Amino acid sequence: MSEKWVKKASGEVVEFDESKLRDSLFKSGASENLISQIIDTISSELNGTTSTRSIYKKAYRILRASSQKLAGKYKLKNAILELGPSGYPFEQFVAKLLEHQGYQVEVGVDIEGKCLSHEVDIFGHYNNHLIIGECKHHGNSGYKSDIKVPLYVHSRYNDIVNGLRSRGEEKDTECWIIINTRFTTDSEQYGSCYGLKLIAWDYPGKGSLRERVEVSGLYPITCLFSLTKKEKQLLMENNIVLCEQLTENPKLLDPIDQRKHHRILQECEEICSMNS
């Protein structure tokens, strides 16, 4: 039996699976030679039980030395984890993804239901179609949103829809729940049964959060190695969540040391080119 074990973010300890590391590196766009180099290096250093975070850091370090573009894409999952701790930057990020699809989106809107007033994280509309969305951001990649989340969100959604109907505002509406980690199986079953649109990091198979980012090319500023954690927070407090926002308007970097602007913009341009 292998003596190489990995402790996942959830706390579960499993046998090291080289294919999972290979798959994540392949999705970042790394070449076969670079993938083999990283796997050989990490595998040779594994001894006893190693955390997934430790493996990620080692792989990221090697990727970054090879290409900022590859490193930025490989970091995507952790970069979205950094869109906190308030969760508001995550809501803005999701809004940008929907705007890319043609929706007009408002974030943090108060809507009268039939019985109560509700604050809605995402209110998106396109022609006569409405999205009433709830965003749940978690700082731990091992966290799973259990059945209480869709039950709670669905009840609020029903009150909002009944309120719209009572006011004669009949529209084609959808209830979306967007999280950056994963749902439990019963959450997914409930969502499927009632027609809720559940979006998680890798769920559903088509249209997951990861796929939406990769298809749109809208990468968060938290992917950037050239920004410190404090600088990222400063930009997010000014409603700047996308690398694309910086490339389109470099003056948004004014709060950051001017000597760093060229390097930041160069990295942004590399990462933004990943959808080509």
Same domain, 36 and 47: yes
What is the band of 87 on the pLDDT scale with cuts at 50, 70, 90? Answer: confident
Q: How far apart are CA 46 and CA 28, in angstroms?
A: 22
Angle (CA) 58-72-29 rounded to 5° is 85
pLDDT in tens, 50-72: 888 899 889 988 988 888 778 88
Strand partners, 200: 203
Residue 211 lies in a domain: yes
The residue-averaged pLDDT of 146-169 equals 95
Range of the domain at 56: 4-74
Which residues, including other chains, have CB under 8 Å from residue 47's CB and lie 6 or more apart?
A: 3, 4
Same domain, 119 and 8: no
pLDDT at 171: 81
Greater model confidence, 49 or 125: 125
Bond into 220 cis (ω within 30): no
Greater model confidence, 234 or 16: 234
Query: What is the pTM for the complete model shown?
Result: 0.87
Residue 129 pLDDT exceeds 50: yes
Report in angstroms the alpha-carbon separations of 39 from 5, 33, 44, 49: 15, 10, 8, 16
Same domain, 93 and 69: no
Same domain, 236 and 159: no
Q: How far apart are CA 130 and CA 174, in angstroms?
A: 6
Q: How far apart are CA 39 and CA 52, in angstroms?
A: 14
Residue 2 pLDDT exceeds 80: no
DSSP 8-state class, residue 195? T
Q: Report yes or no: 207 and 231 within 8 Å, Cβ to Cβ.
A: no
pLDDT at 71: 85
197-199 and 172-179 strand pairing: parallel
Same domain, 128 and 48: no
Sheet of strand 197-199, all strands in order from the earlier edge strand to the far edge? 104-112, 117-126, 129-136, 172-179, 197-199
What is the band of 276 on the pLDDT scale with cuts at 50, 70, 90? Answer: very low
Same domain, 21 and 95: no
DSSP 8-state class, residue 141? T
Same domain, 112 and 170: yes
Percent of the chain with pLDDT over 70: 98
- CA pseudo-torsion sign 158, 163, 167, 173: negative
Residue 237 lies in a domain: yes
Tokens of 206: 């088509």
The residue-averaged pLDDT of 169-185 equals 94
